[in-house]
Amino acid sequence: MPLAHGAGAGMHHEFMVAMARSLAEYDIATLRFNFPFLENKKGRPDTPAVAHATIEAAIKQANKKFPSLPMFVSGKSFGGRMSSQYLSTQSPPFVKGMVFFGFPLHPSGKPSIERAAHLKDVKVPMLFLQGTADELAAFDLIQKVCKSIPLATLVPIEGANHAFKAGKKDIIPILTTETKTWIDKIIKKAK
């Protein structure tokens, strides 16, 4: 499962490493990678065209290395949004679904749904793991978006913010379990 990072931290960020390790315990392999802006130590995230090309390369590499495994694309925040933008225009037949670890629906303090417009063009099932206190996705708005997309499943992560912090509660096991359960359902349906 290609796992794209957010705009503020790369593939070695604590969240990315913890997710990859936790998913591995459920026999879900991940391919973490950095977008060029982090590799080149630039402060601003890449343009969508560059991000999409990077995601395409990661997807193709994962499929080349493991062509018999069902592929699910995933991303944290920016990485998820760029991945879904890519999947809204490209439909690799081996991609079975998309997992969002916090979809960034809008900038902090500026609730809107414009960033979700492309999601209706994604042709694979999508899992939204979303904190109910996410400052980049007002929960009522992400619910509205997901209800309007037949291929979307929304799982609320109670009290979690965009970084999946919810007091002292460890959210990683919840994210992992929800991901595994959903992937199993998608694979079972495909058989």
Look at residue 41 in the predicted model and tell me its pLDDT: 83
Residue 24 CA to its chain's centroid (Å): 17
pLDDT at 9: 87
Look at the domain 2-190 and name its fold.
Answer: Rossmann fold (3.40.50)
Range 32-59 average pLDDT: 92
Cα separation, 46 vs 36, in Å, equals 7
pLDDT value at position 157?
97
Q: Which residues contact 119 (CB under 8 A, 6 or more apart)?
A: 84, 88, 126, 145, 149, 152
Tokens of 154: 């929304």
Distance, CA of 105 to chain centre: 12
Q: Considering the chain, what percentage of its residues have pLDDT values greater than 70?
A: 100
Mean pLDDT score, 117-126 = 97
**pLDDT tops 90 at residue 149:** yes
Domains of the chain by residue range: 2-190
Check residue 91 and give its pLDDT. 93
Residue with tokens 């879904």: 84
